[in-house]
Amino acid sequence: MTTIYIIRHAEAEGNLYRRIHGQYNSLVTPRGKEQIKRLAARFSDIPVDAVYSSDLHRAMETAAAVAGPKNLPVIPVPGLREVAMGVWEDLTWGDVERNEPDQLYAFNNDPARWTVEGAERFDALVARVTDAIRGIARQNDGKTVAVVTHGMALRAFAAGVMGIAPHEISRVPHADNTSVSLLKVDGEGNMEFEYYGDSAHIPEELSTFARQKWWRESTTFDSSNMRFERLDLANQEDLYLKWREKVWYMECGEKAPPRERWLEGVRKNALAHPRGVAVSYLGEEPVGVIELDVARAAEEGAGVIEFVYVEDDVRKTGKGAQLLGHAVSVYRALGRTRVRMSVGKENALAKEFCERNGFCPAGAESGGVSERRVFELDIAVPGDGA
């Protein structure tokens, strides 16, 4: 009998930013790193003979938490990768909810009917992951191993093991980040789960699912997913200036705001990149904006966030990170390795946002009407050519 602990990777950018990251290679978030520490503690007293992982970075980093303390290598297995999402890769879930709701419903509730350009068929996913795990079992007959994979890959494999048809996949629970499932494989290759999706090692404050509701609902639609549209200055100039002024008065008091300079800058930034200035929406309601200056600091390999704002009631629910996800998406595609933003010295909300989302202090900026602190976020994915 072979014992296989199957682990879903720690929280990664796609989970936090609510972007579709199938085989898009992304980083583990600060919360994910804390989850990894708890996973390592869970496995500290569990004997493991070998550790295997999807070769995507978020899975490999998670696997290292089990392998490292035991002085084992992490063996990469491409067959354990997440489902390939085709043209959906790195879109926001909010964009897909709005533009392709029927396909999204199929993906979540009857994935055999899911047909997206360039995407992997559900039956091919099941076969790929099953073959990978069967191969690992054969190589480790009678041993105990750990395997790190991804959410949909695990769910598809589990449905196959449990004999659950694609149109009944809602019977297979979603597994939280770093959750552990225990699979037993006998000498004939028969497989059975002893338990599935256990996350007892993760306290509620570190759980990804505790902050989200989509996985609890039969539709799996999530009204907290943002979508992004280009700023329409012809109709949204007043809204943009209102948001700018709100931050300005917070940082600079009653000094006259430089409205014309802002408008000149936002026009330039909007022309420089089609996604350079984007308004975020929840449903039909505009709730924030992110403005990127793609020219500034390009020679340093950095991407600059010129301005970011999200309404207070939205920010308090943690959704503001989705605007950061937009910036990371743009700048990583441009080959930048860091995202940079400056905040007013007295802007405690902005500083807290930076610190919570993994930015590090990178100096100060002088000049202007207020002293500003500079923060940078490393977005280079190791081994991804960045």
Query: One of 9, 21, 150, 174 is an active-site residue; which one?
Result: 9
From the candidates 13, 34, 61, 82, give the one annotated as an active-site residue.
82
Enumerate the β-bridge partners of residue 343. 373
* φ, ψ at 301 (rounded to 5°): 75, 15
Secondary element (H or E) of residue 275: none
Q: How many residues does the chain have?
A: 386
Dist. CA 284–CA 308, nearest whole Å: 19
Write b or e for each residue in 342-364: b if 16 or more Cβ atoms lie within 10 A of its Cβ, otherwise e.
bbbeebeebbebbeebbbeeeee
CA–CA gap between residue 349 and residue 354 (Å, rounded) = 9
Task: Say if residues 20 and 103 touch (Cβ distance below 8 Å).
Answer: no
User: How much helix, strand and coil, in percent to the nearest 5, is found in the chain?
Assistant: 45, 25, 35
Position 235, amino acid? N
**254: annotated active-site residue:** no
The one-letter amino acid at 368: G
Cβ atoms of 321 and 16 closer than 8 Å: yes
Task: Determine whether 9 is an active site residue.
Answer: yes
Per the CB < 8 A criterion, the answer to whether 77 and 163 are in contact is no
Q: Cα dihedral angle (88, 94, 99, 101), rounded to 10 degrees? A: 90
Beta strands 144-149 and 191-198, pairing class? unpaired
Gyration radius (Cα) of the chain, Å:
22
Q: Name the amino acid, one letter, at 117.
A: E
Give residues with Cβ within 8 angstroms of 20, minimum separation 6: 14, 85, 88, 89, 90, 91, 92, 93, 96
Catalytic machinery residues: 9, 82
